[in-house]
A and B are shown apart, each in its own frame.
Chain A
Amino acid sequence: MTKEEFINSGLLEEFVLGLTSEHQDKVVLEHLDMYPDLCPQLKKWEFSLEELARKNAIAPSSDLKNRLQQKLDFHDTNSAAILKKANNTSLINRKFWMNIAATYLLFATLGLIYFAYQNRQLSKQSEQLVMENAKLSAEKNDLESVNRKFSFVREVETQVLQFSDKNKPVGTVFINHSLQKTSFKISNLASPPAQKVFQMWADVDGEMVSLGVLDAPQNGDLIDLPYMKNATSLNITIEPLGGSKTPTVANLVATIVI
């Protein structure tokens, strides 16, 4: 029989259930020699049926063992060799199952350790990815914000004026009347004296209107200023911390006529 034919014959199942004749036993054993990969399946079924029998075990009378001892002739000279073999065989079976159990245990433990390690690594990577994502998202928002600011600067209608202090440029003012927007890009503004701040002013109809205090200005910053429709000039003065209600003309740093 081919392996497939042997499997489909059901002989192996009949063998493990003890239903085969002596001739069929020989056929099964020959085929197990030919196809040794079927042996583990046989061992599993044998183990299961033994367990089934154990779970359905019933105890005979307690004196049966004594009656059996009387019935058996232990003086038979062949018996020693026979039982030595039996002892070895049970040992072999025990060893076989212990090996199976140990192998299973080893693989299961290694598998658990491996999956736990993988899980930990993936969790770490996942946390890192979340952090990276948040960081990239923040950077993207900043870039979009800068882009929006600079897109206004690039508009054709935007008026570009240089802010100078004694012929030295301190920054550039961008004014767009259509968009009603004013920005100031700081380029070369020195730090204010201690306990002082720079304050922006607009001359509107002859009156100086505060446009705000330049809080810790850095060269390169693009600062949005309030749009003043009728402003005729812009001015920067040095004022006490917190700013002033009216400009200190003596501390005028820079001025520009619009």
Chain B
Amino acid sequence: MAVEKKLEEEIMTLYDKYNNALFGIILRIVKDQHIAEEVLQDTFVKIWQNLDHYQSSKASIFTWMSKIARNLSINAIQSKAVKKAGFTYSMDQLKEDNIAENNINENFDLRTHINILNHDQKQIIELVYFNGFTHQETHQHLGIPLGTVKSRIKLALNSLSHLFFVSDSTKFLIFFLLIQWQ
């Protein structure tokens, strides 16, 4: 019983730590609170079932968990669209619809958090991170060369790294120096 209790506590620790961040990604993709909550539950069930396949030396736990969440979200909107329309939707059409909804829903606006990105980089992050587009799909959707897609993704990731990595460590450094001066 002690092992089961500890097991429960630990999976719930993961939930407490990551549920809001994962739910933010899921809700932006599925656009429905009820479905998003079902997907979040399924995500944690799958995380729990597959933790023994996860290799910490290769990728962070959040990268691994968010990939599960995103794949389940895309599956969910695909099946939702199938149920709604009664026929098979193409993934491209699904994503087109999803982007249209994204653009009019101000609750899901990323602008306040990623102002450091320019329009092109922001668009790329929204497409690939919050809509699950591959490079090939992004190239077709935006009508820009594949090489440009790759370079924009890399620039956007580097800009984000600069924003979060540098700013957080700088804050830490300033805090440390302030303590030293006192």
Please list the residues of chain A having a beta carbon within 8 angstroms of any beta carbon in chain B: 8, 10, 13-19, 29, 32, 42-61, 64-65, 67-69, 71-72, 74-75, 78-83, 85-90, 92-93, 101, 104-105, 108-109, 112
- Ordered by A's residue number, 15 sampled pairs between the chains whose C-beta atoms are within 8 Å are A29-B55, A47-B60, A49-B63, A49-B129, A51-B168, A53-B22, A56-B113, A57-B20, A64-B40, A65-B19, A86-B61, A90-B14, A90-B56, A93-B61, A104-B173
Residues in B whose Cβ lies below 8 Å from that of A32: 58
- Identify the stretch in B46-54, B84-92, B94-102 within 8 Å (CB) of chain A at 4 or more residues: B46-54
Query: B4's closest neighbor in chain A, by CB?
Result: A74
Query: B135's closest neighbor in chain A, by CB?
Result: A10
Residues in A whose Cβ lies below 8 Å from that of B59: 15-16, 42, 46
Residues in A whose Cβ lies below 8 Å from that of B36: 60
Contact B37 A57 (CB under 8 A): no
Residues in A whose Cβ lies below 8 Å from that of B62: 46, 49-50, 53
Q: Give the Cβ gap from A59 to chain B, nearest Cβ, in Å.
A: 5
Q: Give the Cβ gap from B136 to chain A, nearest Cβ, in Å.
A: 10
Chain A binding site: helix, strand, loop or mixed by DSSP? helix
Other than the given A85-B54, A89-B56, A93-B61, 6 more pairs (CB < 8 A) read: A47-B60, A49-B129, A51-B164, A72-B45, A90-B61, A108-B173
Any chain A CB within 8 A of the CB of B182?
no
Name the one of B20, B48, B125 contacting A58, with C-beta atoms under 8 angstroms. B20
Residues in A whose Cβ lies below 8 Å from that of B19: 59-60, 64-65
Supposing A53-B24, A79-B7 touch, asked if A10 and B154 sit within 8 A by C-beta, the answer is yes
Name the one of A10, A65, A81, A101 contacting B12, with C-beta atoms under 8 angstroms. A65
Query: A67's closest neighbor in chain B, by CB?
Result: B41
Contact A85 B4 (CB under 8 A): no
Digitize B18-38: 1 where CB-to-A-CB distance is under 8 Å, 0 elsewhere.
011111110110000100110
Query: B166's closest neighbor in chain A, by CB?
Result: A104
Residues in A whose Cβ lies below 8 Å from that of B25: 53, 56
Bound CA–CA A32/B63 (angstroms) = 16
Bound CA–CA A44/B59 (angstroms) = 11
Bound CA–CA A67/B45 (angstroms) = 12
Contact B52 A16 (CB under 8 A): no
Supposing A15-B59, A60-B40 touch, asked if A74 and B8 sit within 8 A by C-beta, the answer is yes
Contact A53 B6 (CB under 8 A): no
Tell me how many residues of B have a C-beta within 8 Å of chain A: 70
Supposing A48-B161, A57-B20, A74-B4 touch, asked if A43 and B113 sit within 8 A by C-beta, the answer is no
Residues in A whose Cβ lies below 8 Å from that of B178: none
Residues in A whose Cβ lies below 8 Å from that of B12: 65, 69
Any chain A CB within 8 A of the CB of B75?
no
Bound CA–CA A180/B163 (angstroms) = 81
Residues in A whose Cβ lies below 8 Å from that of B44: 68, 72
Residues in A whose Cβ lies below 8 Å from that of B48: 72, 79, 82-83
Residues in B whose Cβ lies below 8 Å from that of A105: 169, 172-173, 176
Any chain A CB within 8 A of the CB of B110?
yes
Q: Give the Cβ gap from A117 to chain B, nearest Cβ, in Å.
A: 16
Contact A85 B51 (CB under 8 A): yes
Contact A53 B21 (CB under 8 A): yes
Contact B37 A60 (CB under 8 A): yes
Q: Give the Cβ gap from A100 to chain B, nearest Cβ, in Å.
A: 8
Contact A89 B61 (CB under 8 A): yes
Residues in B whose Cβ lies below 8 Å from that of A58: 20, 23-24, 27
Bound CA–CA A228/B18 (angstroms) = 105
Contact A93 B60 (CB under 8 A): yes
Contact B20 A80 (CB under 8 A): no
Supposing A75-B4, A78-B52 touch, asked if A57 and B45 sit within 8 A by C-beta, the answer is no
Contact B161 A47 (CB under 8 A): yes
Of residues 133 through 163 on chain B, the ones whose CB sits less than 8 Å from some CB of chain A are 133-135, 149-150, 153-154, 157, 160-161, 163
Query: A81's closest neighbor in chain B, by CB?
Result: B52
Any chain A CB within 8 A of the CB of B104?
no
